[in-house]
Amino acid sequence: MNDQTGPEDIRNKQHRQGRLADSGDFPKVILLDTVSFCNLRCSMCFHKDMKRQRGFMSEALYAKIIAEVAQRNPRARVWLVFFGEPFLLKNRKPSIFDMISHAKQQGLEDVVLNSNANLMDEAASRSLIQSGLDAIYIGLDAFSPEVYAKIRIGGDYARTVANVRALLRLKAECGAQKPAVYVQFVEMDANAHEKEAFVEFWQREGANVKIRPKVSWAGMVEAPNLVLGNEARWPCYWAMQEVVPLVVESP
């Protein structure tokens, strides 16, 4: 049920969240394309149709960007992955854990990842905690193996759930406050019937639950949950406050 009744309610909420404020001369959010490819072929993602080169951001470029963020706005939210899967970097040098540690050592205050968590084994979870990562957002989008298989194509539902639960358990065992663990559910026709069970289960497990409601993609998809007509909308804050460096090297 949507508790926002009209444009003003939504606009006021976005103001409180800082989404409509001018970012000034430096972005509030930086998304780094440290790895340009993924291990899954999710139904709502265009990775499977992408033509761009697969690769990784160079260590030199990464260090240069982190140094600039540390100097200009260390409070900016820095995502260490854009449309790739960060745990493809877990065995490289520098690893994703080295990259997180470097960013934190340089004084960045909000370093985050998003992942499908299929490759996030217990060793990786321990390294995440030790690295100082502030938050991780894990895309699950289902509460059953059957629905997961339709959406997160190529993934293993049971293994992924076990991986996330292991991270939550390790945090508790270590007495660690970070990383904050978010499990994400992108609502669509294929999974809407599982939303309530998803929320109940993961809240009980101690995760933060993030539901992404249906969007219309400029009218291409039916999204009756939206309460604003085209005339009442305003520009997406993502385009106004974020920057995405996309330079990669060959694998």
- What integer pLDDT is reported at residue 32 of this predicted model? 93
- What integer pLDDT is reported at residue 193 of this predicted model? 96
Phi-psi category of 68—alpha, beta or left, where left has phi over 0 and alpha has psi -120 to 50? alpha
Q: Where are the beta strands (DSSP E) in 97-201?
A: 110-115, 135-139, 180-186
- What integer pLDDT is reported at residue 43 of this predicted model? 85
Please, are residues 195 and 214 in contact by the beta-carbon 8 Å criterion? no
What digits encode the pLDDT tens for the residues 97-116?
Answer: 999 999 999 999 999 999 99
- What integer pLDDT is reported at residue 169 of this predicted model? 98
- What integer pLDDT is reported at residue 103 of this predicted model? 98
Phi-psi category of 218—alpha, beta or left, where left has phi over 0 and alpha has psi -120 to 50? left
- What integer pLDDT is reported at residue 208 of this predicted model? 98
Cα 191 to the center of its chain, rounded Å: 19
Cα 177 to the center of its chain, rounded Å: 19
Q: For the domain bounded by 27-214+238-243, which CATH number is listed?
A: 3.20.20.70
Q: How many helices (H) and strands (E) does the chain have?
A: 8, 7
Q: Which residues contact 14 (CB under 8 A, 6 or more apart)?
A: 20, 237
- What integer pLDDT is reported at residue 1 of this predicted model? 39
Please, are residues 41 and 154 in contact by the beta-carbon 8 Å criterion? yes
User: Measured between alpha carbons, how far is 101 from 93 in angstroms, rounded to an integer?
Assistant: 13
Which amino acid belongs to residue 40? L
Helix (H) or strand (E) holding 159, with range, is helix 157-174
Structure tokens at 150: 């339709």
| Domain parsing of the chain, residue ranges | 27-214+238-243
- What integer pLDDT is reported at residue 146 of this predicted model? 98
CA atoms within 13 A on the CB side of 13: 8
∠ CA 192-197-199, nearest 5°, is 90
Of 234, 184, 243, the closest CA to residue 209 belongs to 184
- Measured between alpha carbons, how far apart are the two ends of the chain, in Å? 46
For the chain, which residues score pLDDT lower than 50? Answer: 1-3
Please, are residues 121 and 147 in contact by the beta-carbon 8 Å criterion? no
